[in-house]
Amino acid sequence: MSRKTDFLIIGSGIAGLSLALKIADLGKVTIITKKRAEDANTTLAQGGIACVLAEDDSFDLHIADTLRVGDGLAREDTVSLVVCQAPDRIKELLDLGVPFTRDPKDPSKLHLTLEGGHSRRRIVHVEDHTGREVEQVLLSHAREHPNIEILENHLAVDLITLCKVYRGCPREVLGHERCLGAYVLNEETNEIETFLARVTVLATGGAGKVYLYTSNADVASGDGMALAYRAGCRVANLEFVQFHPTCLYHPKAKNFLISEALRGEGAILLDPFGKPFMHKYDPQRKELAPRDIVARAIDFELKKTGKECVYLDISHKPKDFIIKRFPYIYETCLKFGIDITREPIPVVPAAHYFCGGIITDRYGLTDIKGLYALGECTCTGFHGANRLASNSLLEGLAFAHQASIHLKKEWPLYQRFEPPAVPDWDPGGAVDMEEKVLISHNWDAIRRLMWNYVGIVRTEQRLRLAQKRLNSILEEIEAHYWAYILTADFIELRNLAHVAKLVIECALRRKESRGTHFMVEYPQKNDALFRKDTVLWRARES
């Protein structure tokens, strides 16, 4: 089955939905999302969106904070581009109906909170469930727009490019590579359909599920990164995986994040014996140190004591304040028998955010014509080696806006392009996979391997062991890819394995410690050799 559209957007988080709303008047927009539309990391974002609004704040301060946390790899021009448009992007969300929390002292202003790495209060939020509200508002508007179609339970298998259509033709003959759309698994019919588009956009989010413990939604299996890399795009800086310091530690809590905003409002980290410890690792900033420092401090305390969690205590604050400021966290913890107004919260670090991804320019353009990428699946130069808290939703909004500017300008050219005839998906002699344990076993093996060998603190020996074991798993996956009829679980497993491979390769190349990447053998930064991106390209790596 073949479908045609003007814009094919893969992903339904803040970046994909924002872009869809901005370009829908140009032509037909088709959004595909592999589960429900709201099943995105955006929905889980608690903290808020960084934006300069306070009188004692400035763009220069926000830029400086972002560059400092980015640890030498954030690009000042990109940081300035994003930071300076934040007020306009927040105004757009307000106009759409996002109910940002107001300042109780002056309801004409938005309430601003503080998070680690920030020198001023500049986080706008909707209580402690910002992402959920933003996602619902954007989805509501997208569903009402006559030019936007949202297809749930549709999972991209691979991008369709000219090189794939004209097999055997080198890029030099074609003049350039171009994206024509994607092969997509319709999970309701179990058929792989052909989606052709003048413009294709990857807005698939991160890859937290590559690790055993993560704050991410179940959909975060690195699909966009894997799709782009296999198609021939460059990826960069995938060694920089940010581990959120505080996820709820409870056997029945799957991936519940305890927002950094608690520490911004005065919560204290306690070791397993109830004593504060952050003063030993960052005497000045303590709990408000950047996430990489806090996560490594917790990791060290756990390894030193042999315990399974540390604690985050905000119970010294007034009960009414806690319940009003953090209603979602309060209610969720209470379901697990934890009253955060009276006792500390058991927490552990978990994989949270990928600072690297598909290389794009300031308009979201990738190496392949007609293919854009937005949000967490990208490497724009905004985050560098470590992301400043609450800059992620901002990046999605900003680059959706940037892409819309470019698409509106170039639309007359795109509109004249007609994709060539593309063959339907050919399963060949593939048969149903009867032993589903082949998928579940490798899924678990990869995530445990990454957590134990490629986690918060790394060694070269462990990385090489992980690479060797992963290569063996990848050989098995690729053999199964051609032998069996594809399922959603298997497609995700393949993507997960490819992203894991890229993370390990990037980590092995960076023989220093910078940002979220910490190597035991190389504990210092080496600006002379490594103050640059770690770039991988399937066709020619450099």
Catalytic residues: 291
**CA–CA separation, 470 and 537 (whole Å):** 19
H helix intervals, 166-218 = 171-174
Q: Do 173 and 417 form a contact (C-beta atoms < 8 A)?
A: no
Alpha-carbon span 308 to 300, nearest angstrom? 12
CB 244 within 8 A of CB 213: no
Tokens representing 227 are: 């799709």
Burial state string for 57-87 with b = 16 or more CB within 10 A and e = fewer than 16: beeebbbebbbbbbbbbbbeebbbbbbebbe
Conformational region of residue 314, where left means phi above 0, alpha means psi within -120 to 50, and beta covers everything else: alpha
Q: Report the candidate in 109, 120, 15 with the shortest Cα–Cα distance to residue 63.
A: 120
Q: Are 272 and 319 in contact (CB under 8 A)?
A: no
Structure tokens at 462: 């462990």
Return the number of other C-beta atoms located less than 10 Å from residue 471's C-beta.
12
Pairwise CA distance, residues 89 & 252, whole Å: 37
> Taking CA 379 as the corner, what is the angle to CA 289 and CA 91, rounded to the nearest 5 degrees?
75
Q: Return d(Cα 519, Cα 511) in angstroms, integer.
A: 7
Which helix (H) or strand (E) segment is 248 a member of?
strand 241-248
